[in-house]
Amino acid sequence: MGAQWKAKHKDAAANARGRLFGKLSKDIMIAARGGPDPAANAKLRLVVEQARKVSMPKDTLERAIKKGAGLTGETVHFEYALYEGFAPHRVPVMVECLTDNLNRAASEMRVLFRKGQLGTSGSVAWDFDHLGMIEAEPAAKGTDPELAAIEAGAQDFEPTDEETGTTVFLTDPTDLDVVSRALPAQGFTVLSAKLGYKAKNPVSASTLTAEQLEEVETFLAALDENEDVQNVFAGLQG
């Protein structure tokens, strides 16, 4: 969880499916401002691939592209906001929002962070690296992620699931698309690719009691459920 926080439990993940499609639709609309053709728009291509991997309905995907590209006559206006602070027990958190109402988002963040601590700009960001994060799984068992990282041009890699071999490849932000395109030739299928934040000094889960860890999980889940929140990055390891 040193990278992006995700709901662990299957039922929570299932209930979050609708929210996931909503978040991806926003990402697609923002990316489609650069043009509706994924082949000519690298940012859009990455998000579309991610949407397809999670089986977003085709009509939902196409509607988001057309809306973002201005082909439907509707006005799309989302503003980006970054909030930083601490979850309970001093776990550092970075929260990315895309909102059509900055005042509402700011107000809701203040409420959500009452069980933690909302920081000022830069108060937590210094302890995170801004990186490209590519989640991929091997096409065949035994594929070497270290070799794939070297050949594809990734800076580093982190195995996330030993059973499936799923790995997160870390890149310079400007290399996200290049490495994403290179990984399939190295035997890895890309599941998602985005820019994100990775904690430099994550809090080890082993230092927290079961009750404390549950408090952190509950706090992160509440953030993730907010309609304006796109991504939650928590400095929690293990």
- Per residue in 144-155, pLDDT tens? 999 999 999 999
Instruction: Please report whether residue 140 resides in a domain.
Output: yes
Query: Which amino acid, one-letter code, is at 219?
Result: F
Range of the domain at 22: 10-68
All residues at 6 or more sequence positions from 133 whose CB lies less than 8 Å from its CB, including other chains: 3, 4, 168, 169, 170, 171, 192, 193, 194, 195, 196, 198
Instruction: Please report whether residue 14 resides in a domain.
Output: yes
Residue 179 binned pLDDT confidence (cut-offs 50, 70, 90): very high
Q: Do 131 and 190 fall into the same domain?
A: yes
Q: Do 192 and 143 fall into the same domain?
A: yes
Instruction: Please report whether residue 144 resides in a domain.
Output: yes
Residue 1, pLDDT > 50, answer: no
Q: Do 172 and 233 fall into the same domain?
A: no
Instruction: Please report whether residue 1 resides in a domain.
Output: no
Q: What is the pLDDT of residues 196-216, one digit of tens each?
A: 999 999 999 999 999 999 999
What is the pTM assigned to this prediction? 0.83
48 and 177 in contact (C-beta within 8 Å)? no
Q: Do 160 and 187 fall into the same domain?
A: yes
pLDDT of residue 54: 85
Q: Do 58 and 23 fall into the same domain?
A: yes
Q: Do 109 and 168 fall into the same domain?
A: no
Q: In what order do the strands lie in the sheet with 156-161?
A: 156-161, 166-171, 128-138, 188-199
Q: Do 173 and 213 fall into the same domain?
A: no
pLDDT of residue 116: 95
Instruction: Please report whether residue 194 resides in a domain.
Output: yes
Instruction: Please report whether residue 213 resides in a domain.
Output: yes
Q: Do 61 and 16 fall into the same domain?
A: yes
Query: Which amino acid, one-letter code, is at 129?
Result: D
Give percent above pLDDT 70 in the chain. Answer: 93
pLDDT of residue 75: 76
Q: Do 42 and 25 fall into the same domain?
A: yes
Gap between the Cα atoms of 215 and 19, Å rounded: 22
Q: Do 136 and 233 fall into the same domain?
A: no
Q: What is the pLDDT of residues 91-140, one digit of tens each?
A: 999 999 999 999 999 999 999 999 999 999 999 999 999 999 999 999 88
Gap between the Cα atoms of 46 and 236, Å rounded: 27
CATH number of the domain where residue 19 is located: 1.10.10.200
Instruction: Please report whether residue 3 resides in a domain.
Output: no
Q: What is the pLDDT of residues 41-84, one digit of tens each?
A: 988 988 898 898 888 999 999 999 999 999 888 877 889 999 99
User: Into how many domains does the chain fold?
Assistant: 3
